[in-house]
Amino acid sequence: MSAIGFPVELVHGVATVTTPEEIDITNADELRAALQQAGSDGCGTLVVDMSGTRFCDSSGLHALVDAHKRALSDGGQVLLAAPGPAVLRILEITGVDQLLPRFAGVTEALAHLAAAGSGS
């Protein structure tokens, strides 16, 4: 399944959104739509695979924070997988890294969910 070009798939029962190389004002609304679709497809918990993302501006951060707020209200959470150094830096500068747990990859994020008992 896909939301306007952002792949959304179920991996071990958890909705996973894969982000592109750049997230900015030109595609942030598509990201927002994909995150909303992913969050509504399951238990509210989703993984955002940022392994290929090298740039994320404030509009992308807003989409991630909005998804985080929706997930919390549904009893879920948003986990970031493999954000690159430049993305990590913007997450740290803005404090978003304090809201969204990050993991080395999708496998590690899913393992965290399984260990916490919320991955199914």
75-100 pLDDT per residue, tens: 999 999 998 999 999 999 999 999 99
Neighbour tally for 74: CB within 10 Å: 14
Domain range 2-116, CATH architecture: 2-Layer Sandwich (3.30)
Interatomic CA distance for residues 67 and 81, integer angstroms: 15
Q: pTM for the complete prediction?
A: 0.91
Instruction: Tell me the two tokens of residue 67.
Output: 């998804």
pLDDT tens digit sequence for 7-61? 999 998 899 999 999 999 999 999 999 999 898 866 789 999 999 999 999 999 9
Q: Token pair 């399951």 is at which residue?
A: 42
